[in-house]
Chain A
Amino acid sequence: MPYCVNCGVELNSDAKRCPLCGVRVVLPPSLRGNSDTSTQPRKRDIAESVFDKGLWIQVTSTLMVIPALLSVVVNVLSGTGLSWSLYVVTALGAVWVWCISPFLFRRNIVPLWIAIDSVALLGLLAVVNALSPRPGWFVPLALPISASLSVLVLMLVVLTKRRVLRELHIVAAGLLSLGLFCLIVEGAVDLYLTQVLRPQWSLIVLAVCAPLAVVAMLLQRRRAVVEDMKMWLRM
């Protein structure tokens, strides 16, 4: 049995150093015990990133409630009743929904929180439309633009998450979606203002996006280029 010459305590027969003072244990090989690895496991518990969802929701709610209440109080005290403060309250409400929607559910269901965010955006636009002096733009203009944006983003996210789209295919789909979205925006604006569909600038955007998307799809077929791009982008 080895003892530490410095501390006077008995040590394990396989100990190389005293755990208390670090003094080396010198034993003739015939007296050295077998290295008993079984007493201490080799595996270590590793850290997991933990995000405190509850705290995030509490902090966000507090940060939204305070300016909302302040603006309502200032608006009422200034003698104009509830007028401009409703814009502030609605905007803060929408921002609050966007901030907390990813953390509302135990599982991270991305399509669900994108859908909730879209509803919040539509709600914000509907309220602003109702409060504005010249209403009537929500249904012909805001609704198709924001709904199409939501659908396109939702499609891109779902297809990416299900691994239907990969690497440069995502870039290609994103470029095509951008071109399509510009077409929808210009179409909606044309119909609202002149009731005639005459696409112009959106076609230029599409003309730029579409060839780039084709290039991305072609590049995706060359694995070496994809690997190089991954390396440059540290993906």
Chain B
Amino acid sequence: MSSQAPAARRWYRLDNAANVYPAVRSKTRPGLFRVSATLNEPVQPDLLQQALGDTLRRIPSFSVRMRSGLFWHYFRHAEDELTIQEDVRNPCMGLSARKDKGFQIRVRYHDRRIALEVFHSVSDGSGTLAFLKTLTARYLWKCGIAIPATHGVLDCDQPAQPAEAADDFDAFAGRSTPRGRREARAYHVSGTRVPHLTLNITTGTLPVGAVKEEARRYGVSITEYLTACYLHILNSIQASEHRRRPLPVKVQVPVNLRRFHPSETLRNFSSYVTPGIDPTHGEYSFEEILSLVHHFMRYEVTDKHLRSRVAANTRTEQHALIRITPLFLKNRLINLGYQLSGPAIYTSVMTNLGMVQVPPEMAEHVATFDFHLGPSYTTNVDCGVLGYRDKLRINFTRVIHEPIVERAFFTFLVRQGIPVKVESNSE
């Protein structure tokens, strides 16, 4: 970790997880995700622009442009101003050199909504949420509402902290033995592909209390409960296709490593686990899946196992042969590795950012938060979950026409006795 203040840093190394995304970025794999906050009042663009300038000065690791070195990509600090844009119906599309001026994030507004779309090399869900909370708090401050710097909101009048731009993967992995990454190919939901630059979003709003009550009834956490529901309906969808040889159904669940390691970083610091079932072993009831997911998560989401998983990536990055390989060859190697052990080995992603905590003064002015994953043309459907106040927002992003997954998922929850309100961006 550098002792130099990030505000003065001209460039940043990409963290361990971030190195993958520029190598595999393409027109159909833009690598963006989005968090957004819907306020109670319409957004004033000029104040939001000012607030963005202050927030980027406070969190300079988001004010960067991607550059290619001889051996690795790196981030060059951008001194100029990022301009906010009007929101669109199809978010998370690839960053444009002209419209986004080479920045790796974009900030959009529409009516009462402030949205932040981030290229995954810059940060993970938690870091991005911290940026959005700080941006929203600063915007409210510009509107004359004082928001204290608590509950993950950073004080824009303070200087940037070096620890916030640190790559903590190496420190977390320590001397742990790396584990293998080989996993069997998983089932993927199929459907009629939508035209390029289309992203169907279906949002379900659920009362947190009802979901918590249902999860408690089975003795599991909310993430475990939702993952089991997801696996159950994905398994049913595969069963309805009557495949001669069904493939394993697995869901990738990202894990925030900040829970296991003292870290203040706002860059990537997460790993993942992939609970799943193999339908060739027989039929699974929902209770069986729930029990499997529960025990799998308790076994895998532990300090030791996660260290071992992260060590596999950090050791690869530190390998002498990998380090001296020129970037253009390295990109091809990373791409090959991604084809083998990327989305091919899981059916879909379900990311739960957890309950969003904000200062009470800010909660009065923010109606909802949302979290959307970008388009994936391998999994076709992905899911982002986030809780705020008494509501759980489940956002499905899909690049096929048929909303089979969302329908199966939400109707399953309704049958479980959880009321669901559904809205969509489809025209």
Q: Mark A39-61, 1 if CB is under 8 A from B, else 0.
A: 11111111110100010001000
A45 with B68: in contact, given A11-B421, A20-B422 (CB under 8 Å)?
A: no
| A211 interface residue (CB < 8 Å to B) | no
- CB-based contact B424/A19 at 8 Å: yes
Q: Write out the residue numbers on chain B whose beta carbons fall within 8 Å of the beta carbon of A20.
A: 202, 403, 406-407, 410-411, 422
Q: Write out the residue numbers on chain B whose beta carbons fall within 8 Å of the beta carbon of A224.
A: none
Q: Which residue of A lies closest to B427 (CB)?
A: A40
Choose from B197, B411, B420, B423 the contact partner of A45 (Cβ within 8 Å): B197
| B196 interface residue (CB < 8 Å to A) | yes
- CB-based contact A9/B414 at 8 Å: yes
- CB-based contact B96/A9 at 8 Å: no
Main secondary structure of the interface of B (DSSP, over half): loop
Instruction: State how many residues of chain A have any CB contact under 8 Å with chain B.
Output: 26
Choose from A39, A44, A50 the contact partner of B90 (Cβ within 8 Å): A44
- CB-based contact A9/B426 at 8 Å: no
Q: Write out the residue numbers on chain B whose beta carbons fall within 8 Å of the beta carbon of A42.
A: 89
| B60 interface residue (CB < 8 Å to A) | no
Q: Which of A4, A9, A50 has the largest number of chain B CB atoms within 10 A?
A: A9
Give Cα distance in the complex from A11 to B423, angstroms: 6
Give Cα distance in the complex from A50 to B91, angstroms: 19
Q: Write out the residue numbers on chain A whose beta carbons fall within 8 Å of the beta carbon of B204.
A: 9
Which residues on A are within 8 Å of B, measured CB to CB? Answer: 4, 7-12, 15, 18-21, 38-48, 50, 54, 58
Among residues 201 to 215 in chain B, which have CB atoms less than 8 Å away from a CB atom of chain A? 202, 204
Give Cα distance in the complex from A44 to B200, angstroms: 12
Q: Write out the residue numbers on chain B whose beta carbons fall within 8 Å of the beta carbon of A9.
A: 204, 410-411, 414, 420-422
Give Cα distance in the complex from A43 to B115, angstroms: 15
Give Cα distance in the complex from A213 to B31, angstroms: 54
- CB-based contact A8/B414 at 8 Å: yes
Give Cα distance in the complex from A54 to B328, angstroms: 9
Q: Write out the residue numbers on chain A whose beta carbons fall within 8 Å of the beta carbon of B407.
A: 7, 20-21
- CB-based contact A43/B86 at 8 Å: yes
| B419 interface residue (CB < 8 Å to A) | yes
Q: Which residue of A lies closest to B407 (CB)?
A: A20
Main secondary structure of the interface of A (DSSP, over half): loop
A7 with B93: in contact, given A12-B423, A18-B422, A41-B87 (CB under 8 Å)?
A: no
A7 with B110: in contact, given A41-B87, A44-B88, A47-B197 (CB under 8 Å)?
A: no
Nearest CB of A to B250, in Å: 24
- CB-based contact B86/A41 at 8 Å: yes
Q: Write out the residue numbers on chain A whose beta carbons fall within 8 Å of the beta carbon of B423.
A: 11-12, 15, 19, 39
Q: Mark B42-65, 1 if CB is under 8 A from A, else 0.
A: 000000000000000000000000
Among residues 62 to 95 in chain B, which have CB atoms less than 8 Å away from a CB atom of chain A? 68, 86-91, 93-94
Q: Write out the residue numbers on chain B whose beta carbons fall within 8 Å of the beta carbon of A12.
A: 421, 423
Going nearest first, the 3 A-B pairs with the smallest beta carbon separation are: A19-B424, A38-B111, A20-B407
- CB-based contact B27/A50 at 8 Å: yes
A54 with B88: in contact, given A7-B414, A19-B202, A40-B425 (CB under 8 Å)?
A: no
| B245 interface residue (CB < 8 Å to A) | no
Q: Which residue of B lies closest to A7 (CB)?
A: B411
Q: Which residue of A lies closest to B204 (CB)?
A: A9
| B319 interface residue (CB < 8 Å to A) | no
